[in-house]
Structure 1
């Protein structure tokens, strides 16, 4: 029986049920929709994320990227259609959302029940290079350190599904590159199914197995990123995929050099609408 058939057999109404994908560490979405007042933000989304697969989701502002991520994460119960996702999931937002009155290690283990929470937190912090900051207060961390702490907090839960909602958006260019490399390394080590919401074309192609473009409430384009990791941005195959993804997003390169970290603005500023 197909996933669609199982959903049809279980669904008795038009309201979405965010279900546990029993025996499956992936995500299955059938006909998912979300409207706000009289506006359909998402309409008839069909999407599968295989266990261990890394998927990037792009689209114009307001296209519904974060809305879809929240639906998959179980944070929005206003969807129609069907969403099946693993129970073990974690979300990292653009803002780190650390509790300022808790030390770093206590933030990492917040709500987690383990025999030795401090030891578990330090092990997770060590993975992101922050074991020495275990007893620090969040206010003393840099932006990059705070986001790495948020990653440690997500990964200590050993999720089958990791949801990343523009987690590098507030970081400067160099810190962003470091954070991207860290996420790539952590994903290869732990292999959760991962959905990254981003506006950054190069970020999507550096990290993901597939890049999806949301347009008019649907997944309008799907681009397979069949390149070996790590992926040099100067590789002709990478450049070709970037041009293809930009075209799918309705933008065109300006012709300026985007590879210099000294003079180049943020990647989103390197393109103009076609």
Structure 2
């Protein structure tokens, strides 16, 4: 787990387990190699962000880890349940919000567990609402509740904030950090937003041409300020790793 300065937020378990361990992960589509021998390890309770240009393999990696793409070669070991929150909330429109969160939940009282999850994300009053009546932020809260109610060891976030307006995004960022502290999963966040990665993650990776080409640790307490000198320096490093120079794209 990344070291934290005094006052940093985040779960600190007595013994650090592994949320996921990936070795030599390769995914080919015909003659095109999208993932080329990726090695990755995320500790339980660690928050990792993954950056990369479009087509770099970010979403492919996430789909493999979620068990949605069985065509990959290599090894991926996950320590516990995996849950995913996608860019689109993917709520079933003909089921009310509570039923969406409880869907497929294998616990003694799925309804009670789903309701507790909705209360946790501030949607208890909308348990009987239809998904199409929710705002974008509310729908993403419901998606997070559906993921976290399963108490995953690994939470995969596939650009879940990209369609939100700026103010709603800030609110959901804070909510995700709060839920992360309470539940303690390992998190892999796929994003195109360098600032978002730096504000949220313990560690930021850059995926380029199917391999992890760069890694930066963010050893700052939260909440973080965009104008912190360390973040400004890290932003420049990450942008360079993404091929973005002060003059434009390399």
| Correspondence for 1:273 | 249
Asked if residue 27 in structure 1 is aligned to residue 20 in structure 2, the reply is: yes
| Per-residue CA distance 1:105-140 (angstroms, 9 max, x = gap) | 110010013333332222101111111101111011
Report what 2:31 is aligned to. 38
Structure 1 unaligned spans of 5+ = 1-22, 255-271
What are the superposed Cα offsets for residues 23-49 of structure 1, whole Å, 9 maximum, x if unpaired? Answer: 954211111100101100111101111
- Return the offset for 1:156: 0.5
- Structure 1 residue 86: Cα displacement: 2.7
Deviation at 1:273, TM superposition (A): 1.8
1:166 aligns with: 159
TM-superposition CA deviations, 1:179-216 (whole Å, max 9, x none): 11111111111110110000000110111111000112
The offset of 1:237, in angstroms, is 1.4
One of 81, 88, 109 as aligned partner of 1:95:
88
Distance between the aligned counterparts of 2:150 and 2:211, measured in 1?
A: 31
After TM superposition, the score normalised by the length of structure 2 is: 0.90
Match for residue 103 of structure 2? 110
Structure 2 residue aligned with 1:84:
77
Q: Which has the higher contact order (CA 8 A, sep 6+)?
A: 2
Q: What are the residue-to-residue correspondences of 1:87-236 with 2, within 5 Å?
A: 87-236=80-229
Partner of 1:6: none
Q: What is the TM-score when the length of structure 1 is the normalising length?
A: 0.83
Q: Which residue of 1 aligns with 2:3?
A: none
What is the distance in 1 between the residues matched to 2:243 and 2:221? 27
Secondary structure of the corresponding residue to residue 164 of structure 2:
coil
- Residue in 1 that maps onto 2:243: 250
Confirm whether residue 60 of structure 1 aligns to residue 60 of structure 2: no
Taking the aligned partners of 1:74 and 1:87, their CA distance within structure 2 comes to 13
SS of 1:26's equivalent in the other structure is strand
Q: Which moved more, 1:116-125 or 1:65-74?
A: 116-125
Taking only aligned residues, the RMSD between alpha carbons, in angstroms, comes to 1.5
Count of aligned pairs: 235
Q: Distance in 1 between matches of 2:96 and 2:113?
A: 14
Q: Given that residues 25 and 161 in structure 1 are in contact (C-alpha distance below 8 angstroms), is that contact kept between their aligned partners in structure 2?
A: no
